[in-house]
Amino acid sequence: MSGGIDPGCIRIRLRQQGGCITAVEVASERPVVTSVLRGRPADEAVALVPLLFALCGKAQGRAAGLALAAARGVGSAPRLDPAIAAEAMREHLWRWLLDLPPLLGAAPLKDEFALAMGWIAKGEGGRLAAFLDQPRINELWRRLDDMDDVDDRAQVASLSLPAIDAESSLRHWPRLDAAFCALPHWQGRAAETGALARRGGQGEGKVFARHWRARLAELREWAQGTARVGDGGTASSVPVGPGIGRGLVETARGLLMHEIVLDGECIADYFIVAPTEWNFHPQGPLQSWLAGRPVEDRAGLEGFAARAVAALDPCVRWELAWL
């Protein structure tokens, strides 16, 4: 985010007793950026939205534009939006080439990242696909199995948010409100969104490894031209009622929802449900991954927490503190 607005922070607080973690508190402390949009002319507000977000600005802007059109009565069926898909793939590349290697004890692939970003910008999927099949990428894939990870048998199974488009979202959430934006839920439970959820939570390896591999799988499908509606970059919208519209976009990190309420041609109310609020819900996967972990090696535990957070990929900074 820019424009003088603090993007916020994910705060993780751990309590230990008897040599293990006995309590995990996860809180997303984020500003309500929609407060700067209320009362503005609708077109001006929508134009401002992508300027407020440093990450996924195109997705945020498209969700806003779709929601405004829907508030004016024009919905949009689900489709892959090339610009949003390309943005999602750039985010996946950043994670795989710059963030993942240091987690595995390797140097970030900075030169390769710059080349790959150029291929995406030029639409050269074939060159990207060839690169993603190189030994260096396959070695990172293999080394994910060596990462200290969560065994499915030892964790509370995460609930994956199913594929949802704007029209079907109305059956589950007829209207959005501030409470839901802060703590979104699926059928009364915390749920995870993102590349792995888009694959039904299924994949090869343990939990963290599956998150990383799902991102690479989306990258490869995009590069090969086999991406489908429902993958990263999918967008849709629906009129909710007179003067009320909702736009949905599948970003790199998961489902993004915008809902606009108009008063004439001004913004009367605005709601945003971001992927980070899904993935870092207080009762979400991070809580189950960390609870019960041994703390004899505090530095090792903090390293594990960093890998857990990276698997979920927040769009803001995060901090860990001990209670």
Q: What is the pLDDT of residues 116-127, one digit of tens each?
A: 999 999 999 999
Q: DSSP secondary-structure letter at 156? A: P
The pLDDT value recorded for residue 152 is 62
CA 253 → CA 162, 257, 298, 299, 321, distances in Å?
Answer: 14, 12, 29, 27, 25
pLDDT over 60 at 216, yes or no: yes
What is the predicted pLDDT for the residue at 5? Answer: 60
Distance CA 11, CA 280 (A): 10
Could you give the CA distance from residue 290 to residue 25 in angstroms, rounded to a whole number?
10
User: For residue 225, which amino acid is it?
Assistant: G
Residue with the two structure tokens 């029209």: 167
The pLDDT tens digits for 274-289 are: 999 999 999 999 998 9
pTM to 2 decimal places:
0.94
Complete domains list, the chain, with CATH: 9-149+159-322 (1.10.645.10)
Q: What is the pLDDT of residue 154?
A: 45
Give 83-113 pLDDT, tens digit per residue. Answer: 999 999 999 999 999 999 999 999 999 999 9
Of the candidates 10, 83, 2, 94, the one whose C-alpha atom is nearest the C-alpha of residue 316 is: 10
